[in-house]
Each structure stands twice: as structure tokens, then as C-alpha cells.
């Protein structure tokens, strides 16, 4: 690799985060594989194995495949390939949450109310990744290009506060108010 190419590649957020992303994909694939192994050997779900095993296998495959393609994107210096394969990562994460939820439901066979709660929890746990899928597929061109520009280091990332950040801010403001009294 030439010094010019090395200098050009430093300070590019999507490239700088890829070592973490690579480790993360590996951990998620191992986790999905471990739960998959547990589900495959579970005699409690021998007649209804296909849904949790299918979702967990799909999840593991998506994490492994996504990991490979993200490394390819790094090798090819292609942020668009990286963004396209984020879609597979997001689908893999959603599949993992629903695979775990269906495994729990089929193994323990809870009453309908608990079944519904477990599915609602799977939706809540998956919500961020479902929103990311929607964003990647349907976001307007200007917003998508702005995000792409953030990944390339051409613009500052926009703050995207989530529920936990709002809760923390609320409690910090309460504490600040009490300290001023």
C-alpha cells in the first residue's frame, strides 16, 4: 500500500470502525451459533424445530456473510458495499432476536399472555435494527447521502438521541435542579 493511499484512508469513520465491526460480527455469529446448537439438540422442540432453528441459522449465516463482505468493502475501499451489507447485518440481528424468542416459546410453552409478551419484547429488542432497515431501504436521497458523508468523514455526524439518552438527560436535569436549591 502506498503512503498516499494510507494517508487518504486515515480518519475515515467507516474504515476506522471496521476492527470493532469485525469483532462484533464474530461475537454475534458465535452467539447465534451457540443458541442454534442448543436449539438443535433440544428434545422439547423436536416437532417444531424449524422456526427457531431456521431463524438462528439465517442469523448466523447473515453475520458470517456480512462480516466477509464488510472486510471486502474495506479491501476495496467501498463505502457503498459497506452500507449495502449493513442491511444483511440488520436482518441477521432481527432474525436472531426472533429466533431466540421462538425458541423460548417453543421450549417452555408459556400461556398465551406470556407468549405475546415475549413476542412484544422481541419486537422492542429488534426495533433499532428494524428502523435501520427502513432507513437503509427507504430514506430520502438527501438524508442517505448525508449519512454516507458522515461515514466518509466529509461532515460531522448529526446527534441522534435515543430514549435512554432522554431519560438520562431528564434525571440529570432533576439532579441539577435539586443542587441549585
Whether 158 is covered by a domain: the verdict is no
Q: Which positions ≥6 away from 119 have C-beta within 8 Å? A: 101, 105
Q: For position 161, what pLDDT does the model report?
A: 85
Question: How far is C-alpha 163 from the chain's CA centre?
Answer: 17
Total tally of structural domains belonging to the chain: 1
Give the pLDDT band (50/70/90) at residue 158.
confident
Q: For position 36, what pLDDT does the model report?
A: 96
Whether 161 is covered by a domain: the verdict is no
Whether 180 is covered by a domain: the verdict is no
Whether 168 is covered by a domain: the verdict is no
Helices 79-108 and 141-151: crossing angle in degrees, nearest 10, is 100
Kindly report the pTM of this predicted structure: 0.85
Region 146-152 average pLDDT: 95
Question: How far is C-alpha 113 from the chain's CA centre?
Answer: 28
Whether 162 is covered by a domain: the verdict is no
Task: Give the gyration radius of the chain's Cα atoms.
Answer: 20
Residue 47, domain extent = 3-138
Cell numbers that stand for 60 in this block:
448466523
Region 9-13 average pLDDT: 75
Question: Would you say residue 62 has pLDDT above 90?
Answer: yes
**96-138 confidence digits (pLDDT tens):** 999 999 999 999 999 999 999 999 999 999 999 999 999 999 9
- Tell me what the pLDDT averaged over the chain comes to: 92
Angstrom distance (rounded) from CA 125 to CA 130? 10
Amino acid at each position: 500500500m502506498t503512503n498516499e493511499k494510507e494517508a487518504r484512508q486515515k480518519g475515515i469513520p467507516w474504515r476506522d470502525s471496521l476492527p470493532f465491526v469485525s469483532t462484533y460480527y464474530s461475537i454475534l455469529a458465535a452467539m447465534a451459533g451457540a443458541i442454534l446448537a442448543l436449539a438443535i439438540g433440544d428434545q422439547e422442540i423436536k416437532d417444531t424445530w424449524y422456526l427457531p432453528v431456521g431463524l438462528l441459522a439465517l442469523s448466523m449465516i447473515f453475520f458470517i456473510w456480512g462480516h466477509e463482505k464488510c472486510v471486502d468493502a474495506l479491501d476495496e475501499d467501498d463505502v457503498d458495499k459497506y452500507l449495502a451489507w449493513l442491511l444483511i447485518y440488520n436482518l441477521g440481528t432481527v432474525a436472531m432476536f426472533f429466533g431466540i424468542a421462538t425458541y423460548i416459546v417453543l421450549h417452555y410453552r408459556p400461556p398465551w399472555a406470556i407468549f405475546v409478551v415475549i413476542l412484544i419484547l422481541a419486537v422492542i429488542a429488534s426495533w433499532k435494527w428494524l428502523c435501520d432497515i427502513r432507513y437503509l431501504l427507504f430514506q430520502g436521497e438527501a438524508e442517505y447521502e448525508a449519512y454516507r458523508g458522515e461515514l466518509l468523514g466529509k461532515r460531522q455526524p448529526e446527534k441522534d438521541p435515543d430514549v435512554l439518552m432522554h431519560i438520562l438527560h431528564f434525571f440529570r436535569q432533576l439532579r441539577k435542579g435539586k443542587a441549585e436549591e
